[in-house]
Structure 1
Amino acid sequence: MQVITYECCPGYEKVVGEKGCPAALPLVNIYHTLGAVGASTTQLYTDRAELRPEIEGPGSFTFFAPSNEAWAALPTEILDALVSNVNIELLNALHYHMVNKRLTSEELKHGATFTSMYQDFNVHVHHYPTGIVTVNCARLIKPDQHATNGIVHVVDRVITAISNDVHTIIDVDDDLETLRTAIAAAGLTAMLETDGHYTVFAPTNEAFEKIPQETLNRILGDPVALRDMLNYHILRNMQCAESIVTGTPLETLQGTVLEVGCDRNAMTLNGKAIVTKTDQLGTNGVVHYINELLIPDSAKTLLELADGSNVPTATRLFVEAGLHSHLTGSEALTLIAPQDDAFKGGESMTPALKTLLSHLILKERLSSKSLYHGQELETLGGLKLRVFVYRNNLCIENMCIAAHDRVGRFGSMFTVNKLLSPPTGTVMDLLKNQDRFSVLVGALQTAGLTELLNQQGALTFFAPTNDAFNSIPTAERNRLLRNSAELSRLLKFHLSEGLLVSGGVSSHTRVTPLQGERLELGMRNYTVYVNRVPVTDADLMATNGVVHAVSRIIKPLRQEVRDKAVEKFKAELSYTKISQGLNISRSTVQSIIRKWKEYSTTANLPRHGRPPKLTDRTRRALVRNVTKCPKLLESSSVLGS
């Protein structure tokens, strides 16, 4: 069993019979306060450096006192150098931890500097939104320990005087030679020498060597890409390692963000533990060393964007199709990259696929934010693709954008959820070219609707397949296919104005057909449903619309609900259970059953509420009569008048 014990804060003690530590002790001077707050090693060194009389005497000081653990963590050679040389170095080091006035943590404002008691060198304070306070990147772990002659803040490391700016730190380190050359070539030297609060994630020579030489040479030879890449390594604000407590997106000088986080004791960038050395403090910022080069999208080619976007199949196929030069050059293009799920797997290059891939490169650099409904986009292959804007999606033909744009050096990339289904003819042409719609084609001709499906426009057709027509009883189907007026009503109920691809369907989408009540569309398990009829093959694109194949005739929901209500009533369910099962009101159920009773010739019908048990004879009579119900409720047609 684990026992948790609590101790009183410095300056307080327990009182018998009372909770907590209510008794406040008298204040003592800074020297004695050091011993009480876990800085006894600092106290010892003030004796050795002959600083004790100063911090016991009159005055008002702020002492950033290293904890005992901070001194123990100091490398032996540095500690030896401090305590030798007749203790003058130790005295200087301790004076650098002191400011000649009282400063509470509340007065330690972000970005402030205070003159230390060592040769007027400044100490640099940062007070972060998380409440963390640092001085020269050392964290205050016990702030605001008051004394009679000042205040003590216990810090987690020994701090040293700083005189070099950020650029000088980079300039004097041979491990950063390549970075130094790149900074000079990009014209950033002067910026890193001026006042500021920069955070530089400095890639080492090793980090540059990991990049393919061709890529590195391209970036180093392109001033715009080089500047973007280097600015991506520089944060607008100073971030000491101690200030990071969780993954936080921080803005870079390049304009995008880096996610700076921590994994145990390691600092991370974009989720990767690539920081090898932290908190190299300069007068105008801090340098953290990293062993990987960070290349922002704005410095990448289209092919490099695709390589880093989890679309490996599309990337491979673009290269195999001979489109490499377009994706690595300086043309202003937009790449449409389908996700891997869009491919069936094992795709091999064919002339048709090569042509299709050429239609996935647009001949201008675009942003999805600038696209509008009805816009036409020209492809490298010469095709015009249409843009459709829906409440829940932004689509180009049957492809809907599945991720944020990625903007490269010369081009942009859209990741989409499907492979392009290019329109090759009118809706009527499409139906004629597929045997599964042969009955429908004949029905359209009888109904006089072929001209409608051939003319220019934008239609959505929920097209019944041969299976849908074959599901109608033979006599009824034959009668229907000879009746042009009834066929016209039926087929127009499957047609609507406006082009709606499957990606534009949300959980509750309503469409008005050319004739009849509205259509209720929904999406379930990646399948579109129209009035509860599943679409078996979606997004067959045509020049004047889109076709969605259905294997059942679509009926008005009201008729379908009535049919189901009567069937449940036959099964001896109560009005309440029918209401709950069909998600309609109890009064609607009562109305449906009442009308059904009025048209039924069976005498022994169950009453409202839970129906009584029916005899076999009554049930047979009920079944015979219920087949007449749809005709009595709607009409004798499939759709209704």
Structure 2
Amino acid sequence: MHRVALLLGLLFVTVHGLRNVDYHYDEFFPSAKAFSEDLEGASSDVETATKDREDLSPNYKDPSPNTAEEIPEKKPKETPNHDTSLLQGGVIEVNAGEGPTGFNPFGGLPGFGKFPGLFSFGGLFGSDGPNFQPWWKGDHVCVEREESTDDEDKSNSNSSAESSKRKNQTENVFSTSISLSNCFETANKYECITKVNNHGIVKTFTVRYKCCYGYKRKEGASGCTEEVELKPLLDTINDVGGKEFSNLIKTTGLEDKFKNENITVFVPSDEALSEFTDRMLELNQVDVYRRRRDARNALSSHDLVLSHITPGFIDLNDLNNEDVLLGEKEKNSIRINAYPTKNFGKMITANCVRVTKENNLASNGIAHVVDGVIAPATQSLREIIDQHPQLTYFRRLLEKTDLAKNLKDDGHFTIFAPTDEGFNSLDEKTRQKIMRGEQCAKNIVKNHVILHTVCSSAIVGNATTHNVAGDSLNFERTDDGSISIDGKAKIIKKDIVAKNGVIQLIDKILVPESALLISEILEKQNFTKFRQLIDEAGLTSEIDSSENATVFVPSDEALSQPEAVKILDSVKGDKEKLKELIQYHTIGKKLESCDMNNNQMIKTNDGEQELRLNLYSTVPLFANIINRATVNCARLIGYDEKACGSVVHEVNKVLVPPTDTVFDIVNSNENYSTLAEIIKGTEAEEILKQSNQSITLVAPTNEAFEKLEPDDLKKLKDDKDKANVFVKNHILSEVLCCAGVSSQGWGFNNMIPTVSEHQVQISKNENGDIRVGKAQITECDNVATNGVVHTINRVLLPRRTRVPNIGFFLFDI
């Protein structure tokens, strides 16, 4: 109990002490410096670099302790960053430069990193015991140190004035040196990163603990106690099942290279190399180990071996997803990808060949076993597409859409490239449109490109990823090993590796919905009745050729409602009127849900007619969260169905242009005759007439007025001041459609202001009945040019507004 209190006290002091300091967290990692009990080993190294360091030398390097054993130097590689998304099944979209795991790499509590000695099971809670020692403080653990200055590049690019301004701002906040540290641990490494701001000069110190070369960790032991027998690299290749590859090394005259140089080699298993040999023999190649695309790309046995090696000692645990290794063969590269698997494991590939046994240490290198022969990556994606005999249509389409320029040489892409046979499977008219760059050809190309490398071996069962347009692509691997995409196309040639990605050949074109014509979208989404009306009006060609258009489509159910049937009967046989009705459901610009605004008036394609768009929140306490929309009080029940250059929204009513003001609606309805008499001659009459208003009138019927005392009714008719106050109490100062009212939990009220500056309470019960104060709405949504009219069964008498328990303006957006 005392320990819990102490922990809470520490947290309070930490938060209270920092709340008035402007620490620029975009420049620094969250601090773990305060929690140093279990970081003693790491912090001592870091503090050596940071303590009493007012005048840091630009060339300063932390000295390595004499006891540290030397290990090969590895330079950090800068890689581009892309959005990440979890993929269903076997594939994960992983940031370049990040590991594949889905958990917090800093351990401990999410968002706080791992703070040894406070949030771990040791330290305050004492479960680790007083003699606990982390593994990285044990024997045979080597230390690597790096130092960099973060703002070197920025200072070169900014003007002197901007630099001076930033320096002054920084000095105001940081009067002395401040260091912020963060540490994380993996199975093979413990790393601490410290950022030090010394009067605006930000330096990063990295201290990395790992097993010295030739040693590895033993479970439960401190340090790296298990010594690895380091044999010559050729012997190690034989031991891990690469005898066939070892023989190939000898026959190609490369034996001395493997004996005398430090090399990392990706070793094809004997089974994989035998399968490759058999496949080459079937293709009647002259050289058993030669694979030809054409004479210029011949691969000899000698080059085959070189395409599997890279200089130095490369531990795959030190690499990130999308890292690229330079091979021995000229202009050859090996791309490393890491894909998460179940139970927080990972699958590693090298040029899309799966690594089955990694990090087999030798005296002069490291051997990684792969389950296939690695194809050398010597060309870019564009070069492969330009030369591939089955991609002539796709090459022309890239050129026509001017998207080939986006396949940068330093990127990492996956292209699902349809073969010429795939293009020929389209009907002639559609293929010609696409090849001319019409029918949203750019959308079609974007649907085939992904901003990260997806190797076929990473697709296990069902998986999902996202293309450059942000749309999902769904994969399924069947029992026979074939892979389908969105149930439309199959991969027929896997893993054509390039220097900047990979190509998967597919047998069909993946046409996204965003490239379909509006009529095709309506047919696909089963809007059959509205689609038929468009045909009858002769507007199919006009709507399909529209660019940047929006269509509000009544569902088939909406078109079957009695009110809709009555509207359609009124235009039956009159093609012009039907055409006007259809055009009233379309606007001449692309309006997605994210671009909608409350009380927005939108001109339609039917002359000068307008649609009124309203947005509503139905979430208590969060009035700014908009999750419901109406058009002319018809509720949007389906959003953002993309078509070629256009968008389709589904509504639950037929849209009819209003012709009358609120005042006209009241005066033309016999059920409102008493109300009309009271309104006449009041200030409120002018409000109801004005065309530029956006109001809601809750209109009592004659029957509702009959419930009043005769004297009270007479006063309303005779006293225009009282009548004016009375009518204004029935006019809401915004447009409120019935579809915008939602049921609220206990204690929450929907309070809507009236033009008389009073408020009325709006509620909806479980049966869908809507009440305004004590009156019930009996007829909804009589849309006017300046608002909407609802019929109520009781009058609303003015009274002093009580303060509700919890009230808010639900529709004040």
Query: What TM-score, normalized by structure 1, do the two folds share?
Result: 0.68
Aligned equivalents of 1:489, 1:367: Cα separation in 2? 41
Deviates more, 1:274-283 or 1:106-115: 106-115
Go from structure 1 to structure 2 and tell me whether the alpha carbon gap of 1:289 and 1:450 turns closer, same or farther (over 3 Å shift): same
Show CA shifts across 1:92-138 (max 9, x none).
Answer: 54443222321112554555544434x43613213458575432112
Asked whether the 8 Å contact 1:446–1:481 carries over to 2, the reply is no
Cα displacement (A) at 1:62? 0.9
- Of 503, 508, 526 in structure 2, the residue corresponding to residue 292 of structure 1 is 508
Aligned equivalents of 1:340, 1:557: Cα separation in 2? 46
| Corresponding residue of 1:592 | none
Go from structure 1 to structure 2 and tell me whether the alpha carbon gap of 1:465 and 1:203 turns closer, same or farther (over 3 Å shift): farther
Aligned equivalents of 2:760, 2:269: Cα separation in 1? 73
Paired residues for 1:457-476 under 5 Å: 457-465=693-701, 468=704, 472=707, 476=708
Go from structure 1 to structure 2 and tell me whether the alpha carbon gap of 1:292 and 1:482 turns closer, same or farther (over 3 Å shift): farther
- Of 101, 105, 130 in structure 1, the residue corresponding to residue 316 of structure 2 is 105
Cα displacement (A) at 1:180? 3.9
Structure 1 residue identity aligned to 2:783:
M
Asked whether the 8 Å contact 1:29–1:148 carries over to 2, the reply is yes
Q: CA RMSD in A?
A: 4.8
| Corresponding residue of 1:588 | none
Go from structure 1 to structure 2 and tell me whether the alpha carbon gap of 1:22 and 1:441 turns closer, same or farther (over 3 Å shift): farther
Asked whether the 8 Å contact 1:376–1:387 carries over to 2, the reply is yes
Structure 2 residue identity aligned to 1:157:
G
Go from structure 1 to structure 2 and tell me whether the alpha carbon gap of 1:447 and 1:483 turns closer, same or farther (over 3 Å shift): farther
- Of 229, 237, 243 in structure 2, the residue corresponding to residue 26 of structure 1 is 229
Show CA shifts across 1:205-234 (max 9, x none).
Answer: 443345444333333234694345334423
| Corresponding residue of 2:80 | none
Go from structure 1 to structure 2 and tell me whether the alpha carbon gap of 1:199 and 1:468 turns closer, same or farther (over 3 Å shift): same
Go from structure 1 to structure 2 and tell me whether the alpha carbon gap of 1:124 and 1:49 turns closer, same or farther (over 3 Å shift): closer
Query: Would you say 1:426 and 2:661 are equivalent positions?
Result: yes
Query: Would you say 1:544 and 2:786 are equivalent positions?
Result: yes
| Corresponding residue of 1:511 | 752
Aligned equivalents of 2:483, 2:429: Cα separation in 1? 30
Go from structure 1 to structure 2 and tell me whether the alpha carbon gap of 1:411 and 1:492 turns closer, same or farther (over 3 Å shift): same
Query: Would you say 1:326 and 2:542 are equivalent positions?
Result: yes
Aligned equivalents of 2:736, 2:769: Cα separation in 1? 14
Paired residues for 1:115-264 under 5 Å: 115-117=326-328, 119-120=329-330, 122-127=332-337, 133-167=348-382, 169-170=384-385, 175-186=390-401, 197-222=412-437, 225-243=440-458, 249-252=465-468, 256-264=469-477
- Of 43, 48, 52 in structure 1, the residue corresponding to residue 243 of structure 2 is 43
Go from structure 1 to structure 2 and tell me whether the alpha carbon gap of 1:302 and 1:464 turns closer, same or farther (over 3 Å shift): same
Deviates more, 1:171-180 or 1:353-362: 171-180
Show CA shifts across 1:529-572 (max 9, x none).
Answer: 434755343322112221123345557999999xxxxxxxxxxx
- Of 761, 771, 778 in structure 2, the residue corresponding to residue 520 of structure 1 is 761
- Larger CA Rg, structure 1 vs 2: 1
Aligned equivalents of 2:499, 2:258: Cα separation in 1? 32
| Corresponding residue of 2:732 | 496
Gaps of 5+ in 1: 1-8, 562-581, 585-641
Asked whether the 8 Å contact 2:238–2:246 carries over to 1, the reply is no
Aligned equivalents of 1:82, 1:90: Cα separation in 2? 15
- The structure with higher relative contact order (CA 8 Å, sep 6+) is 2
Asked whether the 8 Å contact 1:263–1:273 carries over to 2, the reply is no
Structure 2 residue identity aligned to 1:538:
C
Aligned equivalents of 2:769, 2:370: Cα separation in 1? 60
Aligned equivalents of 1:212, 1:82: Cα separation in 2? 37
Deviates more, 1:59-68 or 1:160-169: 160-169
Aligned equivalents of 2:426, 2:669: Cα separation in 1? 51
- The structure with the greater share of residues assigned to helix is 1
Query: What TM-score, normalized by structure 2, do the two folds share?
Result: 0.56
Go from structure 1 to structure 2 and tell me whether the alpha carbon gap of 1:101 and 1:557 turns closer, same or farther (over 3 Å shift): farther
| Corresponding residue of 2:714 | 482
Aligned equivalents of 1:13, 1:334: Cα separation in 2? 63
Go from structure 1 to structure 2 and tell me whether the alpha carbon gap of 1:532 and 1:72 turns closer, same or farther (over 3 Å shift): farther
SS in structure 2 of the partner of residue 316 of structure 1? helix
SS in structure 2 of the partner of residue 257 of structure 1? coil
Query: Would you say 1:385 and 2:617 are equivalent positions?
Result: no
Aligned equivalents of 1:13, 1:362: Cα separation in 2? 67
| Corresponding residue of 1:357 | 582
| Corresponding residue of 1:343 | 559
Asked whether the 8 Å contact 2:320–2:336 carries over to 1, the reply is yes
Structure 2 residue identity aligned to 1:101:
G
Go from structure 1 to structure 2 and tell me whether the alpha carbon gap of 1:67 and 1:538 turns closer, same or farther (over 3 Å shift): farther
Aligned equivalents of 1:232, 1:173: Cα separation in 2? 20
SS in structure 1 of the partner of residue 279 of structure 2? helix
Show CA shifts across 1:309-365 (max 9, x none).
Answer: 564443333233322132022566432334455433697754165532221122455
Cα displacement (A) at 1:303? 3.3
| Corresponding residue of 1:397 | 632
Asked whether the 8 Å contact 1:480–1:487 carries over to 2, the reply is no
Go from structure 1 to structure 2 and tell me whether the alpha carbon gap of 1:431 and 1:188 turns closer, same or farther (over 3 Å shift): closer
Deviates more, 1:549-558 or 1:136-145: 549-558
SS in structure 1 of the partner of residue 551 of structure 2? strand
Go from structure 1 to structure 2 and tell me whether the alpha carbon gap of 1:189 and 1:371 turns closer, same or farther (over 3 Å shift): closer
Aligned residues: 544
Paired residues for 1:23-102 under 5 Å: 24-34=227-237, 39-40=240-241, 42-47=242-247, 50=250, 57-67=259-269, 70=272, 76-78=278-280, 93-102=304-313
% same residue: 26
Go from structure 1 to structure 2 and tell me whether the alpha carbon gap of 1:184 and 1:371 turns closer, same or farther (over 3 Å shift): closer
Asked whether the 8 Å contact 1:459–1:546 carries over to 2, the reply is yes
Show CA shifts across 1:552-599 (max 9, x none).
Answer: 5557999999xxxxxxxxxxxxxxxxxxxx989xxxxxxxxxxxxxxx
Aligned equivalents of 2:408, 2:663: Cα separation in 1? 70
| Corresponding residue of 2:73 | none
Cα displacement (A) at 1:461? 1.6
Go from structure 1 to structure 2 and tell me whether the alpha carbon gap of 1:182 and 1:459 turns closer, same or farther (over 3 Å shift): closer
Aligned equivalents of 2:796, 2:272: Cα separation in 1? 77
Cα displacement (A) at 1:496? 1.6
Asked whether the 8 Å contact 2:489–2:507 carries over to 1, the reply is no
Asked whether the 8 Å contact 1:60–1:101 carries over to 2, the reply is yes
Go from structure 1 to structure 2 and tell me whether the alpha carbon gap of 1:549 and 1:217 turns closer, same or farther (over 3 Å shift): farther
Go from structure 1 to structure 2 and tell me whether the alpha carbon gap of 1:79 and 1:367 turns closer, same or farther (over 3 Å shift): same
Go from structure 1 to structure 2 and tell me whether the alpha carbon gap of 1:521 and 1:44 turns closer, same or farther (over 3 Å shift): same
